[in-house]
Amino acid sequence: MQATISAIFREISCDAALQPRVEGLDPAHVRDLEAIAEAWPPLKAVKRGHLYVLVDGFHRFAAAQNLGLEQVPVEVLEAPADGDLAALAFALNAAHGKPLTLSDRRAFAARLLRAHPDWSDREIGRRAGLVQPTVARVREELERQAEIAPAEVRKGRDGRSYPAAGKPAGGTGLEAVLAPLNETLERHVTPAERIAQRKLVRYLERLAAVLEEQNELAGFETIAAGAEACRVVLGAEKAEGLGERLGWSARNILDVAITLGYRDEPS
């Protein structure tokens, strides 16, 4: 079921626990909405019994209250299969309207981790709009506070389970994987091939080190933040070009990593 109706105000249930913003409603934003009530898109809600449970449009709902409206347009959505209205509310609010802050996204990631500590950092990050290192820091904090237990095995988006990622002692995971490969090359390749292969291996090792630096980059806590930085600095056209270059280049490196034994959902 997905239809837009004109709901009587008292039929709408507004549960503050479903509001994804840590700081709650922004009074200034509510006042701005009061001035343009005729331009509002419909609120979004899920039907439960005789009520419509609000999942998107909390600021508009508050503005409607202040204006004394008796009816408001409501788009009625299908209830999620897992019944998690908070996750639905987060996804809808993240897609438009007043942007969710880093704190909002971290709070949602923490909520997901409490409910699903066995989910991979990559999957949590996909749902919360955070980069993987940020999710890892949220996880570490929850583990330190004993709110969740460490998960030795984690579940990826594909439903498969993977060992939790970790760096072997004595170097990066890539270096550990490449060590036996280098030994094999010593025995079976010609000098000319050796030169090219060593050059390639050194390139991949340097690239792995550079990519790991993203963990320490200020302002790169979310995917959106990284993309916005590119647009601001480069402009929209050049940023799009950078996206194309990053895309095909990263795909090649990921294919090599997978061939070496990396799994796409390791953490």
Q: What is the pLDDT of residue 99?
A: 80
What class is the 3-95 domain? alpha beta
Q: Residue 55's pLDDT band (boundaries 50, 70, 90)? A: very high
Percentage of the chain with pLDDT > 70? 87
The C-alpha atoms of residue 196 and residue 265 are separated, in whole angstroms, by 31
Question: Which of 38-42, 111-115, 208-212, 234-238 comes out lowest in average pLDDT?
Answer: 208-212
Q: Residue 249's pLDDT band (boundaries 50, 70, 90)? A: confident
Residue 162 one-letter amino acid? Y
Sketch the domain layout of the chain as residue ranges: 3-95, 102-163, 173-259
| Cβ-based neighbour number of residue 131 at 10 Å | 21
Query: Tokens at residue 81, please?
Result: 């299969």
Percentage of the chain with pLDDT > 90? 34
The C-alpha atoms of residue 29 and residue 113 are separated, in whole angstroms, by 30
The C-alpha atoms of residue 74 and residue 9 are separated, in whole angstroms, by 10
Q: What is the pLDDT of residue 171?
A: 45
Average pLDDT over every residue of 248-253 = 82
Q: Is the pTM of this model over 0.75?
A: no
Residue 134 has pLDDT above 80, yes or no: yes
Average pLDDT of the chain is 83
**How far, in Å, are 80, 83, 121 from residue 159 at the CA level?**
18, 19, 14
Let me know if 232 is exposed, middle or buried by CB neighbors in 10 A (0-12, 13-18, 19+). exposed
Residue 2 has pLDDT above 80, yes or no: no
Average pLDDT over every residue of 254-262 = 79
Query: Considering Cα of 208, then 210, then 213, then 217, what sign does the dihedral take?
Result: negative
pLDDT (tens digit per residue) in 137-162: 999 999 999 999 988 878 877 777 77
